[in-house]
Amino acid sequence: MNVFGSIEAGGTKIVCLIAKNSTDILDQWVIQTEAPEMTLNAIVSYFRDALSQHANWNLQAVGITSFGPVDLILNSKTYGHIEQTPKPGWTGTDIYGYIKNALKVPVFLDTDVGGAALAEYTVGAGKGKESLIYITIGTGIGGAFIFKGENIYSKHHAEIGHIKVPRIVEDTFKGVCPFHGDCFEGMASGPSMEKRWGMPANQLPDDHAGWAFEAGYIGQAVINLLYTLSPEMIVLGGGVMMHDGLIDQIRDYVASNMNDYCQPDAYKQDIKSTIVLPGSGNIAGAIGGLILAENGMKLNKKKE
């Protein structure tokens, strides 16, 4: 039986899947993200053990969806290497090469948010749409633009978390991004909320003023992206978005701040179906890895 593998490499944990396809998962395994050598070794052992226990599983390809930044430019000498990261030991790690050489099957790679975006597009909230933007708002902020099944970028994968969002007039908070201070991530990530309000986002009361700030910054980013790329849908995921009612505050902010300028009905009357919560569950990045592997083999998108 032909099977596909998936590795969602997150900053704190790694999710591995073996599946017939993106909806028929045969096995799932999770480990903490430790130093690269140890972690990659454990991943390879997992796949080898699982495959040796199931002689009829014929591994076709593996999709990796990795924390970033990671080099995704196909003709780059450092394709598949983790770029500068605060995660100890991971800077420069060739995650793609390691898995490919060890498992000896085609490997397809995207970022973790690129994977989650692909999962939302294929089996989640955006199923049947032509395009969507997926943004995760949690420990960090990241996003990807999927158009006709492709994650769109040229020189580097998108870094939606680091776009500029206009400062709300009365806001004096400096922001927490080590590179830009008050970029989108600097002003609206989970850690920025905690630093600004003195408690984690999930403890902030429903009527706390912080939620209006949060909806404002996310809303501004959403408007920028609607105007820049005109997607059919924006999916907002991540821990911060689990707060009840935040999605409605964002919808209200977007609807009123576009102010009828180039605001098609889909962005106005149908704002609830334009700005949505995810539909593909808490292993969206790993599901995305399966889709990458399946699509990659179907379309013969192998590197080399």
Contacts with Zn ion, residue ranges (CB under 5 A): 162, 177, 179-180, 183
DSSP state of 302: -
**Partners of 277 in beta bridges:** none
Give the SS3 label for residue 136: strand
**Residues 149, 119: Cα–Cα separation, whole Å:** 10
**Partners of 145 in beta bridges:** 133
**Residues 93, 250: Cα–Cα separation, whole Å:** 38
* Complex with Zn ion: residue 40 or 183, whichever CB lies closer: 183
**Residues 121, 60: Cα–Cα separation, whole Å:** 23
**Closest CB 180 distance from Zn ion, rounded Å:** 3
* Complex with Zn ion: residue 120 or 159, whichever CB lies closer: 159
* Complex with Zn ion: residue 14 or 177, whichever CB lies closer: 177
**Closest CB 162 distance from Zn ion, rounded Å:** 4
**Closest CB 163 distance from Zn ion, rounded Å:** 9
* Complex with Zn ion: residue 47 or 213, whichever CB lies closer: 213
**Closest CB 186 distance from Zn ion, rounded Å:** 5
Pairing verdict, β 141-147 and 13-21: unpaired
Q: Are 194 and 200 in contact (CB under 8 A)?
A: yes
* Complex with Zn ion: residue 129 or 162, whichever CB lies closer: 162
* Complex with Zn ion: residue 179 or 261, whichever CB lies closer: 179
**Closest CB 221 distance from Zn ion, rounded Å:** 12
**Partners of 59 in beta bridges:** 3
* Complex with Zn ion: residue 87 or 208, whichever CB lies closer: 87
**Partners of 191 in beta bridges:** none
Q: Are 203 and 212 in contact (CB under 8 A)?
A: no
Residue 291 to residues 22, 123, 233, 274, 301: CA-CA distances in angstroms? 6, 9, 20, 23, 13
**Closest CB 14 distance from Zn ion, rounded Å:** 25
- Helix, strand, coil in percent for the chain, rounding step 5: 40, 25, 40
**Closest CB 86 distance from Zn ion, rounded Å:** 13
Spatial CA neighbour of 250 closest among 275, 269, 279: 275
